[in-house]
Structures are given as structure tokens and as C-alpha cells.
Structure 1
Amino acid sequence: MKREAWWLIAILTIAALIRLALWLQPLHLPANDEVEYLTVARDLLAGRGWSFYERYHWLRAPLYPLWLAGSLWLSGGNVWLAALPNIALSVLNVYLIYLLSQAIADGAGPWVHRLAAGGAAILLTNATFASLYMSETLFTTLFCAAWWLLLVWRRRGAQWRDWRLFLAGGLWGLALLTRSMPLYFTLLVSGWIAVVAAGNWSQLLRRPTPVLAGLIFATSAVIVVAPWTIRNCLSYRSCILIETGLSYNLWAFNEPREDMATIFRVLENIPDPAERAAYATARGLERLREDPAIMLRKLWPNWLAIWRVKAIQDRFLLEDYRADPPPLLFLSALIFDDLLYGLIAVGGIAGLVYGALHRRAPAVLVGLWLIYFIAVSLVTHGEGRYRHFIFFALIPYAARAWLALPHWYRLNQPALRTALLISGGVGLSILIAYQWEYAIQGGVRSFWRLSGDLARVTGNLPQAAAAYRQALAAQPTPDGYLVLGDVLRIQGDNEGALNAYRAAQRLNILYPPTYIRLGDLLRATGNLDEARQAYRPQYVSEQTLIDLAWRDTRPLPTPVIDVGDGLDFGYLVGFYPAETLAGARSRWTGPVARIRIPATGQVVRLRVAALRPDAPVTVQFCSDNRCHPFQLDTNWRWLTVRLPAPAESTTLRDIELRVESWSAPDGRELGIVVDRVEVR
């Protein structure tokens, strides 16, 4: 293989490893548009079509929900595995940016293309979005592929019969069906294609083939979009070309007199998306007629919003967005997200401006796209994650700019000064918009947390506690108090640990791990009533506590587990919240449930019943890969099983209950009911 191929393989491998490492974290909590996309995808799989948008505040472009539905279908409904196709697309995007850099064809050497691909590979924004259930990654794939084909078409002679022109138009149409933002830019691209096919402006109208080339591209895109538009025309009272987000933005982001909750409620009560869009448009235009200066007042905030690195929920893949990002990940993000983004933005714009001033056709078209993107964002709504629409264009030119910097004296000086002036303005905007307090506090906190984690791993608990206190001094967070409490508990300072856990709870009463840690310590120290109270929070679901307690705590062995009494957290998983069933406070299992019991136990007894209409059922009792079948009916029964010797030297061991589930009317998949577990 050629040397360049090895470089490319190495870069793509790094890209894949970064994305898989982020994906291997615990499944993150869906946020922002993810909730919508997952709901629509599940509706599509369940045969409910696009019914979600009969009660939502806009109609979304269809392609990403269809992609996500296909991913969920391939993964058997497993949301975590459903991210893998998106991760594959994200790695493909790195390759496409490499190809796009080559296709610019401005004489740049291989190091430019390698740097462009490398930047795309390690940019954490791209890597993080690979695991998010959001449309940006799919859009980037389709849009970048269309641009690459157009640039290759230009290099290969710009003939109207070239299949690349047809395919580029089709991919452009698919990109529009993912995010419709480039819709009106399609006209500019068609014009650019005609000029390129003609050779120059003066030849444009002297023969029909250049215009035909532009029409072929536009028609190919229209053919792809048309079925969705026709479907909308037949389904609603008026036609919707692709989506209605612009109508919503017109009302919601022009200083409406109503709050967002009211806007949502009003729009969601209009079942027809076309009527809903018309109403939102009318309200937005009405507000602008009242106060036209709104358009001027929003320009500067939207300008900053375009370039701001914002600490939104989906910046890190967190199981709970009240948690702290892992320290090493936060510190890495300051370099490979914030700093690298700044280098890409400043360098990319400098390279684009310099190339456009030299009338290099790709730079002119890419520059027009950047201007179009900024203009649309300024007059509608600016948001940091919209930068995915321009990253593919900025990265190749940023690579050119930074590699050319050591040889700046060889460049055209007037063009260089103009490029530096414009890119400097963008860089200044990034610095103004940057959340310095968040970065500094988070960076110091993460440094001390990482120091404490390393000290804890090496067994130096006093040093770990001191480092955790330094982290709290920099920025108090629930997780900061929890890790301090954990260390104090290991050291035997139960009072200090209790104080730390309670401080974590006071900081955020919605954060489930605080209740788990506090309840476990109170139970271990014999404060049973207080432990029950800790395990019964007002703002956190019992189901969440059941699942987290199993994963995050190792409770003390106990010979009796009174299931459902409020002290069984950490001993059970695969169970539902407690309820009174057949006269006993107990819990339903799911199809598979596990129970932790003392490892030294020789005999286990369970009081169980199959309180379901299809009883009797067969239950498998399993321990150490040995299973015993039992028949259960609707009466309470004691199951007694002699346990094999434990395979490992440990304080706890697991037993497992397996049963064919029954679909309850409330949607739960129910197994059997467990009331009590005794071990001797």
C-alpha cells in the first residue's frame, strides 16, 4: 500500500477509537432534539407514522427519523447499539473531509489533506455528536458528499452528462430532507454550476449546455424532495415543502410577548402542521410589524451565538446532565473542542477569504455558503451546534491556513491582510462569547478531581480527600461532595461522609446518586428510619433508585431481604417499584431479575407468587449457571433452593429469576411477585 493510504488508515482508526471510547460510556440521557427524534423513530417502527407531529410545535424533515428508526430496527430496539450506524457515518465524514480537501485542487500538498482529516478526527464536537441521536452527523455526510462530487465534477471537465452531477443533486436533495437550511442556497449552487460549465460569465448564455448543467443538479434534488412534499400536500390543508421550523423560529425568536411554554401549548393544540406553521408565521410577522427594530437587536446576540462554545446538555455524553463530566474528558474538551474549534474557525475563514480573493472557484462557492449560513442564522436563530453545517467547509481551509502561516511572507500581502482582518474579527467574537468562568472553574475542578482520583487509586486516601476538597473550593458540585463522602466513608469517618452526602443533596435535590449514597450509609450504620426516608425522595423516581443502587452500591450482606420495605435498594435489579399485592408489600419482577445474597449462604428461601391472569407459569431459579424450574400460581409460595459453593471468594453473590413475561395493561413487562428473601 502507498504511504498516503497508511496515513489515512491511521487517522480513520484514531477517529473510530475516539468515537467508540465516548460511546462505551454509560448510555447518556437524551436531551434537546434527541427526545423528539427517538419518539418519532419509535412511532415509525410501531406503525404510527408521523402522528407525533400532529401534537408538536413543528413538522421536522423526515430523513433522520427514518434513519434512526432503521438503526433501532437493526439493533432490536436497543438505543445504545442504535448509535453505531451514526458512529460509522461520523468516521466516514472524516474520510469525506479528506477527499474534499483533495478536490479543492489548489495545489495543496498531502500534509494539508492529512491535517484536515486529522482535525476532523479529533474534534470532540464531531466525536460527541456521533453518539447523539441528532441529525447533524447524517446531514454532514450527505452534504459533504454532494460538495465533493461537485468539486470532482469540476475537475473532470464540468460536462453536463457526467454522472457525478446527477448524484450530487440527489445527495443534495437527501441533505435537504435531513435539514432544510440549504434549501434556497440550491439556486446559488445551480448558478455556480452553470458558470463553471460555461468556463466564465461571458460564455454563460451563448450555449444552452451550461444552463442545462445547473438545471440537472437542481432537478435531481427536486426529484428526491418531491415525494415528501407531495405527501405533505395530500396530508395537510396546504403544502409544506420540507419542514416548518422556520415558521416556529419566526414567532419564538422575535421577542414574542408570550413565554415559550405558552407558544408550545398554542402550537401543539393546532393538529394540522400547515395551519400551525401559518399561525406561527402570522404571529411572528405581526410582532415584527409592531417593532421592526427587533431584527436589528437580534443581530449581535445571534452573531455571538453562532461562534459561542456553549455548555449545553449534549456537550458531554452524560448519564445524567446534573453530573460532572469525567475530569479527563473535560480537560480534553478544553483543548480538542474549544481551542481546536477556535483554530478551525479563525484559520478556516482566513483560508477561505484568501482563496476567494484569488478567485479560486471552490473558495468562492464555499465562501458564499458561509455567508448564507451566517445571514440565515442572524435573521432567524443562532445556535452553536449549527456549526456542523460549516465545519466540513472550514476544516480543509483551516489546514491550508495554518500550514501556510510559517511562509506568510510569500503570500499576496493585500489578500493576506484582508483575510487576517476578517478572521481576526471572528476570533475576537469567539473570545467575547466564550464562557470563561465555566471553563476556568471547570478546569480547576477537573484538575483537582483527577488528582484525587489518582491518589485514591494508589491508596493515598488523605491526599485524595484533600484534592477533592480543593475541587469543591474551585466549584462545589454534587459529584464533588459524593466522591469526598466516599473517601471519608472508606476512612471510617461516617459523620463526615454523611455531611458530604447531605451537602450534595442540598446542591441539587433532583440528582439521584445523592439519595443512593445517603441511604446506603444510613442503612449500614443502623439508622433504618432515616435510610427509608432517604430512599423515598419526592423528586426522583423509585425505578431510577432501584437501577442505580444496584450498579453504584455494594450493600452489606443481610440474611433477610424484606422486598418492598424501603431498605432493599442495592440488593435487587430487574424489579419494579414496590406496591401492595395480595396483602403484602412486595415487588413485581421483569422477565429477568437478580438478587444479591450473602455468599456464605447455603440455602435460600423466597416467598413468591405469579399474580397474573395466565398463571401457572414456570420460573427458572439460577445460581452459578445452574437453574432449577418451579411452577408458580396465584397463591403465595415459599421456594427453597440449596445453593452450590460460591465460585469466588466474595461477600455477596447473585441469584437470578427468569420467567416468560406478561404484558400488563399499563405497558410493563411483568414476571412474578417477590415478597421476601431469606438466606441461611
Structure 2
Amino acid sequence: MTHRSQARIFLLIILALALGLRLILWSQPLHEPANDEVEYITVARDLLEGRGWSFYEQYHWLRAPLYPLFLAASWRLVGDDGWPYATRALHLAALPNILLSVVSVYLTYALTMRLVKHQQSALLAALIAAVLWTNATFASLYMSETLFTVLFQVGMLMLLHAADQQPASQRWLLVIAAGAALGLAALTRSLALLFLLVAALWLAFQVLRRNPSGDVRRRLTVPLLTATLFLLSTGMVIAPWTIRNYQAYGGFILIETGLSYNLWVFNEPREDRDTIHRILEGISNPVERSNYATARGLERLREDPAILVRKLWPNWVFLARVKPIQDRFLMEHYVADVDLPLFVAALISDDLLYLLITIGAIIGLAHAVRIRNTPSDQQFHQSCHLPVAPAVLCLLWIGYAIATMLLTHGEARYRHFLFPTLIPYAAWTFTILTQRIACFERRRLLMIAPLVCIFLWTVLTAYPWAWAGENLARGSRALIGDVWMALGAPDRAARAYLSALSVKATPDGWLRLGHAHLARGEIAQARIAYRAAWDASRVYFIASARLGDLERSLGNLDEARRAFAGYYADEQRVTDWSWRMLGRDPPSSLDVGDGLDFGYVGGVYPAEELQGVRARWSAGRALLRLGSATTNTQALLTLRLAAPHPERNAVPARICVDGTCRSISLSADWRTCTFIVNPQHTTILVEVESPTFTAADGRRLGVLIDRAHLTVLVAGSE
């Protein structure tokens, strides 16, 4: 097997690893949207439902358009398979982004090959990109970082190839492709916008450098034409959105208005953040809103120009530090505990790997831009050589991006945009310099030592050590308790859970203890633990639903209803979670929508007062759990249904029980339907399928479900 074939096999394994890791993280229940996800999801939904960009008529900025369009297209592609609109379909809509993230791993390999021209380094770079926690989690987040990274990597690859010695026709195609890709990247995150000018100048200089002789006029004309063509291609990509903005708002907005917002909010304004948002959201026209925010920001800077200097160090800390933000872990609810294996994986493949990438990249880039080579042996020189021009382009991007963040607003997740240019040089450092340390000039170590020290000092002093230690101690003790529970030793598990609670009392810690008490038959103690879990965080609907399930099983129906209702809980989330996690020992009679049906109904929307009763709409495919006292005995299934569709008098529906189906016709009036069934298990699953219509709020509504009841007809034995 040739060396190239081996490299391809290793690359395929790395890509498979990247896909597997991302799918494992994605396969968890849909995470709670955080940060900019809420905005992107809302805009994508507006686009799908024909409301266009109306969200930005009442928001504090106008966002770059490409990612909301991508998310809306992903959402439309996966469709809606009958589950509530904002859960199942949205979860599936992350799959195209996951595929993009895997493509980004391959592009990391290709970009590293072009930057450092070393296959082992390229494979290591792909492996780093595959396991870097930032990349893996952002693949499942509804955020623009992954799409931007792919477009930026494609643009950089095309730009680097265009700078090589190429036939004229091929160079023009590469220049156009580079401009289009980087233009699309700017339409995803406008951070790249001014870098387009930097890239154009770099490209012109490389073309000029490759033609050192000849007619002076021709030497200058070709680079100028190359840079112009690059900028024209970016302009052709961006222009339609700019023209649309002018037509919609009557003023000039090139891509977005985030800069004007940052200019006011992050330059020590007199007003607090809520007041600023209230003022900006009261201005419906984004052009007027942008002009107002810009004027207020510039006014503040004229009052105190030193603000720009004072913000540099805080923004550097915000950018370089490790911060345990919400979307660091893909959690169904961000109050929930992070299990120890997941937490340790992030410490290694996020925090530690981030340090290694940055330090390795600093060393590699410093080596690449050296002016002269000290080794006299030519073969030794070749093994240590790195192309200078590509490294300069990467340094220009890194310097530009960091300077932009320092002068506007820095956040830890923004370093995501630096990784495409840091990882290749870090991988080269780990594969080459670790083998041939003599390649690196000692005096360069002295030059970069202050930068490395500043970086390390920033990260280590700002690192949340207490948070890490607390989660490690709590998580290890909780894991021991989980092991004892799995081994059937709830007494020992309870002791381990109490030890975990002594480190930090969390809602999940109390829930674990409650589970152990239940396993020991200690109902009163379990109830106390569940209530403590809910008291620890009233917004944690999982704790309130667990308490509601226990109160329901004890016959305390009023307390159960109050617990299931939670504290401003999203009933849709409670319904979906309860369907997955609760539903043991279902009743034979179910009053759908009475506040006690959680765990027994799925594929339905929150309960409403409809047609004189409290019932639930299905989303096209509703599922009900009912309990049967006997098996292999005939029973009568009774369902009370209605289908008040606005454009249909008769709505077909199909009722399935244990694989046996029957078709019926429903109308707007309530109908009681009866079926003879032969339960094979003590729990039967009733499926109600029907066509849907789209309501004014965007929900896809099927049929109304009021009641379900199962009555044994003939007593028998199993």
C-alpha cells in the first residue's frame, strides 16, 4: 500500500470519527436554544411561513442573511413528520449543519496541505478539527459559525491557489471562486467584510511578486486586474442583499447593522442594556435604527476617546479566556447537571486542546515568517521549510479578526473564526518541530515568549477553576452513585448522591437521590427529594414533572397538576419530555388535556379550551398510552375526537393499535369512536394519524383529542 493510499484511509477514518462524534452529541434530546440561536430560529421560521424578514422590524439590529436562509432551507428539507413544529423538525434541521462540519474537517486537511505542504501535519490537523469540542458542539447548534468556517476555508483555499503560478484562464476562475466564497462568508458573518480588501491587496502583491520582470505597465496591470476581479466577484455576491435592503428600508445597509449596535452598546454608554434595546426596538426602520445607534456611539466616543484604549484589555480577556457558556454542552435544559464523562471530554478536547492549538500555532507561524534560514544543509532546510506568503495571509486574518474584536466586542466563542488558520500551523508544530527541534531558531523563542506568556497568563488567571473542580468532584460522586444504582444497590447509591450534594446541591442531584429512595421503597423521602429539586430551581421543568409524576401516582391530583404546570414552564417541552421519560403504568382512562396526561400523550400540542372542553390538538400523528388489566383479551377502545379544519367538512383519520389500523372520517363536531382491540401487552399504544392544516401561529394541526378509554370486555387469562 502506497503512502498516499494510507493517508486516504487515515483521512476517511478521521472523517468517520468526526461524523460519529457529532451524531452522538446530536442524538441527545433537542437542546435548549441559547445565545443567538433564538434569533436565528425565529427568523428561519418567519421565512418558512412567508413573513420574510419581519423580525428585524422590531429587533435591535439587522443580521447578515445567509445563515437564517440556510437554516430555513434545512428546516424545509427535513420537513415535519407530524411532531410539534418546534421540536422534532427543528432537531432534524441540524443534520445539514453536521454534514457541513464534517466537510470543514476535510477542508482543514486540504488547507493544511496547502499551507504547510506536509501530509502528516494535514492528517493531524484534520484529527484536531474532528475532536475539537468547539467544532463538534457547534455542528448541532443553530448558529452561523460552522457555515462561516466552511465558506471561509473554501475562500482561503481558492485564494492561495490563485496566488500560485497558474495559466491565466485558470487563475481568473480561482480568483472568482475565492471572491464568491469569501463574499458568502461575509454574508454569513460580516466580520469578514473589510478583510476582503486585505485579501485583495495580498493577492495583488503575490501576482506582482511572481512576475518580477517585464514591462512595468504589464507588471502593474495584471495584479490590479486580479484584485479588481476578486473584489467584483465579492461585490456581485453581496450586492443583491444590499439592493434588497435599499428597496425595503429606503437607505444603505451593506450587510447588517451589528457594527452600529456595537458602537453604542460596547463603548460605555450612559444607558443600561435594556434601555438601549427598548429604544432601538422602538425604531421600526433598520436604517434609521442604525443611524441612531451610530450617532449615539460616536457621540460617546467624542466625549471620551480613551474608551477605545480602556476596552482593549477587557476585550482581550473576553476573547482569550475559557468561559462556561450555556451552549458549551448540548443540554435539554441548562439547569441540568453535566455528567462526568461529558465534562471531562470537554476539559480535554476543548480547554486543553485550545491551549495546545494556540501555542503550537504561535510557534509555527513565527517559524514560517522568518527572514533567513540558519541551517546550511539543504535537505535539512527543506524539512524545516514553510511557505512564507500563505503564513502572511493567515497572520493578516488573525491580526485583522483580533483587532476587530478588541475594538468592538470580544467573546470566547468568537475565537471559532480563528481556528481555521491556527490549527494547520499547530499541527505542523506538533509533527515537525517536535521531531526536529533544531529547525526552530532559539532567538525566535525569545521573541514569541512574551506573547505566549501573556496568552497563558490571561487564560490561566481567568480560568474558572472553582467551577471545574466543583463539577469534577460532584460528577465523580454522582457517577459512583449511578454505578451502584445500575448494580442494584440503592443504599450505597443514596450515600454517593448525598456526598455529591455536599459538594454542590443541584436539582439533578436531588432527583438522583429521589430515584434512590424510590428504589428503596421510601416514598416520603423521595417526595422530599423531588420537591427539593424543584425548589432548587423553579424554572427546571424536569424536576417539577418528576414531582408531578410522583404526586399523581400517590393520588394527590391537585398537587400533581400544580407540579406539572411548573413555574412559567413551556408546556410543549414538558409534554415532549414526559412522553419520553414518564408514562409508566398508564391508566385505562385518559382525560386528554386535564393537566394529568403528561407521559401518556405524545405528538400533541399544549392543552387548550376548545369547543367547550379542555383538549389537545394533534400534530398529524398523535400517540396515546393506555393501560390494560389483562392481555390477549378483547377490549373496547373509545376515543372522543373532532377535526374542525377550516377548509374541510370531512377529515380522514386512521386509528392504529398494536399494528392493527382502521380508517374513520371526522368532522368539526365531537365524535365518539369505538374499536374492538385485543391487547398483547399491559400497555397499549394508540396512534391517531390525520392530515394537517397550518394555523395562524404556524402550528400544523391535525385532530382534537378529548378522551380515550379502554374497557375489558371478557375476563380471561394471559
- Same structural fold, with TM-score higher than 0.5 when normalized by the shorter chain: yes
Taking the aligned partners of 1:218 and 1:28, their CA distance within structure 2 comes to 40
Q: 2:179 aligns with which of 144, 169, 179?
A: 169
Shift of residue 283, structure 1, vs aligned partner: 0.8
Q: 1:299 aligns with which of 300, 309, 312?
A: 312
Matching residue of 2:284: 271
1:369 aligns with 2:397: yes
Distance 1:270 1:111, change over 3 A: same
* Count of paired positions: 675
Q: Which amino acid in 2 is paired with 1:94?
A: V
Alignment of 1:363-402 (within 5 A): 363-402=391-430
Deviates more, 1:124-133 or 1:466-475: 466-475
1:652 aligns with 2:661: no
Matching residue of 1:675: 707
Taking the aligned partners of 2:541 and 2:229, their CA distance within structure 1 comes to 57
SS of 1:274's partner is helix
Matching residue of 1:490: 519
Shift of residue 451, structure 1, vs aligned partner: 2.6
1:93 aligns with 2:104: yes
Matching residue of 1:113: 122
Distance 1:596 1:417, change over 3 A: same
SS of 1:254's partner is coil
Alignment of 1:47-86 (within 5 A): 47-77=50-80, 78-86=89-97
Taking the aligned partners of 1:634 and 1:46, their CA distance within structure 2 comes to 25
Taking the aligned partners of 2:120 and 2:9, their CA distance within structure 1 comes to 13
Q: Contact (CA 8 Å) 1:597, 1:679: kept in 2 or not? A: no
SS of 2:191's partner is coil
Q: Which amino acid in 2 is paired with 1:362?
A: P
Q: Contact (CA 8 Å) 1:615, 1:633: kept in 2 or not? A: yes
Q: 2:149 aligns with which of 117, 140, 147?
A: 140
Q: Contact (CA 8 Å) 1:606, 1:674: kept in 2 or not? A: no
SS of 2:251's partner is coil
Q: 1:545 aligns with which of 574, 581, 587?
A: 574
Shift of residue 413, structure 1, vs aligned partner: 1.2
Deviates more, 1:193-202 or 1:90-99: 193-202
Distance 1:467 1:417, change over 3 A: same
Shift of residue 317, structure 1, vs aligned partner: 1.4
Taking the aligned partners of 1:468 and 1:419, their CA distance within structure 2 comes to 48
Q: 2:456 aligns with which of 427, 434, 437?
A: 427
Q: Contact (CA 8 Å) 1:158, 1:196: kept in 2 or not? A: no
Matching residue of 2:200: 190
Shift of residue 527, structure 1, vs aligned partner: 2.7
Distance 1:303 1:673, change over 3 A: same
Alignment of 1:587-602 (within 5 A): 587-601=616-630, 602=634
SS of 1:181's partner is helix
Q: Which amino acid in 2 is paired with 1:603?
A: A
Matching residue of 1:127: 136
CA offsets, 1:53-109, max 9 Å, x none? 22221111122222222212211152222212211111111111111111124xx53
Matching residue of 2:323: 310
Q: Contact (CA 8 Å) 1:54, 1:271: kept in 2 or not? A: yes
Q: Which amino acid in 1 is paired with 2:176?
A: F
Taking the aligned partners of 1:369 and 1:116, their CA distance within structure 2 comes to 19
Distance 1:156 1:612, change over 3 A: same
CA offsets, 1:579-614, max 9 Å, x none? 555555544444332222223354234362427365
Shift of residue 483, structure 1, vs aligned partner: 1.9
Q: Which amino acid in 2 is paired with 1:641?
A: F
Shift of residue 460, structure 1, vs aligned partner: 2.8
Matching residue of 2:242: 229
Taking the aligned partners of 2:231 and 2:694, their CA distance within structure 1 comes to 51
Matching residue of 1:641: 675
Taking the aligned partners of 2:156 and 2:389, their CA distance within structure 1 comes to 13
Taking the aligned partners of 1:55 and 1:500, their CA distance within structure 2 comes to 44
Distance 1:287 1:596, change over 3 A: same
Q: Which amino acid in 1 is paired with 2:63?
A: R
Q: Contact (CA 8 Å) 2:641, 2:703: kept in 1 or not? A: no
Matching residue of 1:416: 445
Taking the aligned partners of 1:260 and 1:596, their CA distance within structure 2 comes to 48
Q: 2:158 aligns with which of 146, 149, 152?
A: 149
Distance 1:224 1:617, change over 3 A: closer
Shift of residue 147, structure 1, vs aligned partner: 1.1
Q: 1:335 aligns with which of 334, 338, 348?
A: 348
TM-score, normalization by structure 1: 0.93
Q: Which amino acid in 2 is paired with 1:135?
A: S
Taking the aligned partners of 2:196 and 2:696, their CA distance within structure 1 comes to 50
Matching residue of 2:635: 603
Distance 1:532 1:425, change over 3 A: same
RMSD of equivalent CA atoms: 2.5
Distance 1:231 1:588, change over 3 A: closer
Taking the aligned partners of 1:236 and 1:580, their CA distance within structure 2 comes to 41
Alignment of 1:233-272 (within 5 A): 233-272=246-285
Shift of residue 411, structure 1, vs aligned partner: 1.9
Q: Contact (CA 8 Å) 2:75, 2:93: kept in 1 or not? A: yes
Highest relative contact order (Cα 8 Å, sep 6+), 1 or 2?
A: 2
Q: Contact (CA 8 Å) 1:153, 1:159: kept in 2 or not? A: no
Matching residue of 2:493: 464
Q: 1:103 aligns with which of 108, 114, 117?
A: 114
Q: Contact (CA 8 Å) 1:593, 1:658: kept in 2 or not? A: yes
Q: Which amino acid in 1 is paired with 2:16?
A: T
Shift of residue 635, structure 1, vs aligned partner: 5.8
Taking the aligned partners of 1:133 and 1:662, their CA distance within structure 2 comes to 27
Shift of residue 542, structure 1, vs aligned partner: 3.4
Distance 1:375 1:589, change over 3 A: closer
Q: Which amino acid in 1 is paired with 2:510?
A: Y
Q: 1:621 aligns with which of 655, 665, 668?
A: 655
CA offsets, 1:249-284, max 9 Å, x none? 011111222222221221122122111111001111
Taking the aligned partners of 1:82 and 1:609, their CA distance within structure 2 comes to 31
SS of 2:675's partner is strand
Deviates more, 1:261-270 or 1:321-330: 321-330
Distance 1:157 1:420, change over 3 A: farther
Taking the aligned partners of 2:151 and 2:11, their CA distance within structure 1 comes to 21
CA offsets, 1:101-152, max 9 Å, x none? 11124xx532211111110111010011111111111111111111122222
Taking the aligned partners of 2:691 and 2:202, their CA distance within structure 1 comes to 63
CA offsets, 1:500-538, max 9 Å, x none? 111111111011111111111122223333223322334
Q: Contact (CA 8 Å) 1:550, 1:570: kept in 2 or not? A: yes
Deviates more, 1:492-501 or 1:606-615: 606-615
Report % sequence identity: 47
CA offsets, 1:196-234, max 9 Å, x none? 112289879864223332222222222222222222233
Taking the aligned partners of 1:422 and 1:33, their CA distance within structure 2 comes to 32
Matching residue of 2:22: 19
Q: Contact (CA 8 Å) 1:240, 1:274: kept in 2 or not? A: yes
SS of 1:292's partner is coil
Distance 1:604 1:571, change over 3 A: farther
